[in-house]
Amino acid sequence: MSKITIIGGGSVHWMPTIVRDLAVTPGLSRSHIVLEDIEPQHLDCTLPMARRILSEAGTGCTLEATTDQRAALDGADYVILTISTGGLDAMRHDLEIPEKYGLFQSVGDTVGPGGISRALRNIPVVVGIARDMEQLCPDAWLLNYTNPLSALCRCVTRTTGIRVIGLCHEIHGCFRLLRDIFNVETNDRFDWRVAGVNHLIFLLDLRLDGRDAFPRLRRFMREHPLFDRSAVPPTSPHFPLQDRAGPQFELSKAFGALPASGDRHVAEFFPDLLTDETDRGRKYGIELTRIAHRQALRREAFARVARLASGEEPIDLQPSEELAARLIAAFETGRQCTDVMNLPNTGQIANLPADAIVETRATVKAGAVTPEPVGELPLAIRALLAHHIRVQEMTVEAALTGDRRLALEAFLLDPLARTAEAQERMFDELLDANHHHLPQFFGAAEPLVEKARAALSAKD
């Protein structure tokens, strides 16, 4: 029996999917699932739902819930991370303060001032979890869904010996688009190679039935300009093309490779896409994240979980495209699993820095994780990614050491940055608004800072 601990087990966004996948995945029927959350009222909501899922699935999995993080981690074999330090209240500052300075963010959780601010809050918390794992379950795998995914995986590998894999589902949206374009039903007919950093990955090669599919894809791009409604198949089996085919196409022409994350994530890496001149992204079909919308989605998610728990809504036992359960099953049973994963760069991308967290295909087989070699990236893509990796490294170190100047420099180097003077005012305002979650910058977390400096020195 494997112990699978979910940190953030009160998440109404992630729990229905993760628990269902664990319940229906072959090889995991004797798992012990632990839901851990700092908010007991959230566990009061997700625990009954999880019980009903396990009952409907007829699995032998057992279940418990706790607010005691160390007890949840003790003896765990796998730890799934789905947290958001400060929640939507903190995210409001990430979005609304930069907007006062003319900086617009379509998501605000990976790059831009919102992504860096979110990293500064989450990094000390995630490192604390990883350090607890070193004491209580040192051989466990940490499977991270929390954003900013690259920076959080990097802070774990930078300061601890815990093995971490970052999981992201953006590639699946890209292949839904490609299946629509090529009118195929499954991904099995494609061979492909992808590389990048989380939320900025590039499809470098694409073959359909053994033949290079990029000429056909480029022809489609030429024949169907952005948001041309005539490009949408009237009976598309997945979803309308215009919902996914925005800046991806334009950027593909420039870089010779297709950005394989959704437009709303990709746009934040290219500041010209989110300006007043583009109507803040609407020209490309992009809507900015609004906290009111997130709050409405959250309320509906809580209501849906309650309906699932009560039996008012039927349980869907079809597995999702998420990777966590399939990865765990591969480790547990020895079956092979190949998918996109975020891992330290051990050579899979030859011309990016070693140990940076990069996203490529990888295979789990016989208990080992083997990234797929990509070789060297084209120079323009390499330069773009290397810049973001440098900013991530600076952000991680600033978050751990409380180095205010280094954190500001990370803000200044972000592509969305404007003038240095405005950027510094915005930075100070963001730190002040989030001060409850950023004690390392206000002289209130010296033990953490000292431990971080020692860990960084040891790693160097």
Catalytic residue numbers read 169
Structure tokens that stand for 150 in this block: 């690259």
440 φ/ψ angles, rounded to the nearest 5 degrees: -65, -20
Burial class for 287, CB neighbours closer than 10 Å (0-12, 13-18, 19+): exposed
The type of residue at 177 is L
Are 57 and 30 a contacting pair, CB within 8 Å? no
Peptide bond into 148 cis (omega under 30): yes
- Rounded distance, CA 33 to CA 47, Å? 11
Q: How many CB atoms neighbour CB 97 within 10 A?
A: 21
Give the list of residues 6+ apart from residue 367 with CB closer than 8 angstroms, or none.
331, 334
80 φ/ψ angles, rounded to the nearest 5 degrees: -105, 125
* Strand, helix or coil for residue 14: coil
Structure tokens that stand for 341 in this block: 């994963």
Q: Which residues, in sequence order, are bridge partners of residue 64?
A: 34
Residue 139 CB-half CA count within 13 A: 7
Q: Which residues, in sequence order, are bridge partners of residue 32?
A: 3, 62
- Rounded distance, CA 32 to CA 232, Å? 45
- Rounded distance, CA 202 to CA 109, Å? 20
Are 105 and 430 a contacting pair, CB within 8 Å? no
Q: How many CB atoms neighbour CB 355 within 10 A?
A: 15
Give which of 362, 358, 301, 355 is closest to 326, Cα–Cα: 362
- Rounded distance, CA 29 to CA 31, Å? 6
Burial class for 28, CB neighbours closer than 10 Å (0-12, 13-18, 19+): buried
Buried b (16+ CB within 10 A) or exposed e, 254-285: eeebbbbbbbbbbbbbbbebbeeebebbeebb
